[in-house]
A = this chain, B = another copy of it.
């Protein structure tokens, strides 16, 4: 982030110091700070600095281990298992995607399961790392209960994102990073913290009634996309990231903001593979794919058909050189944490 705005550079230094004050080593503080700043720059504020205080609180309560002894177990040249020892999620995920990249570069395909991790922010942030190394990647993580399984009256699945990344033959990667809920929980938290409304049709209150009040929604149930289908996809993510890896699952992942009864033990799964396993001209093929789709006739008012990741990249490119605007609450948090 050399060319980043000077004020952002200073902000970054402040956050690194905060993480170090709470016990993270320099490298882990840097990794965590970069992830938070990136979330701000791509406009994913729910995964950005609004979470900083929560991370620090969990560290000071020994629910995030600031000095984790992370174990990487080699299952094969392709497959690795990481026990993150309750590390901050950013550090666990950073290590995992790097291992998955290494495995795929060596054998064509990488599979890395992670247990005893925590919330790691945006899956797309790690996907970008693999795509920059010219790999395709699929990333799954579970999360605290937010969505009711189809037919149930109580939240159990997390917003459980499905993430897919691919090189595009251009500098703008294809990064699909879609939660299985109608809206990200982080966005609801952000709205609740800043007294903003949420859209209709994305959540129910604790009595099962539709609500646009963010605070009520946090106490209620978030709605999955596409009913039974979305519920099934969330269940799949819980199995892949939790049941398979040794992480928590079936609603046992604790809410980082209001459950201090133990570490989260979130599980993640990272799959990576080379783009040239079956074809020699992958970049040409995907360029052609995107070009063909962009040329389709458009709905009135639509200027451009964009692929997943394109808008985020554009936001990043614009925000990169601007000062990050902190909310009142985040400013308060920073002042509090620096004391």
Residues of A within 8 A of B (CB): 75-76, 78-79, 81, 107-109, 111, 113, 115, 136, 148-154, 156, 162, 164, 166, 174, 176, 178, 182, 225-226, 228-230, 232-233, 235-236, 238-240, 242-246, 249-251, 271, 273, 275, 277-279, 282, 285-286, 288-289, 292-293, 296-299, 302, 304-308
Contacts and interface: CB of A to CB of B under 8 A. Distances in A.
Report copies per complex. Answer: 2
Contact of A238 (B76, B182, B289): B289
B229 A150 contact: no
B178 A75 contact: no
A245 B279 contact: yes
A221 to B, nearest CB: 11
A276 to B, nearest CB: 9
B292 A251 contact: yes
Nearest to A208: B299
Contacts of A164: 236, 239-240
B282 A243 contact: yes
Given A151-B306, A289-B243, A297-B154, A111 B113 contact: no
Contacts of A245: 278-279
Contact of A299 (B151, B162, B235, B236): B151
A296 B76 contact: no
B79 A239 contact: no
Contacts of A279: 243-246
A279 B273 CA distance: 23
Contacts of A299: 151-153
Contacts of A242: 289
Nearest to A246: B279
A236 B166 CA distance: 9
Contacts of A297: 152-154
Contact of A152 (B79, B136, B305): B305
A159 B117 CA distance: 35
Contacts of A111: 108-109, 273, 277
Nearest to A176: B232
Given A151-B302, A164-B240, A225-B225, 6 more contacts: A176-B233, A178-B229, A225-B230, A243-B279, A244-B278, A250-B288
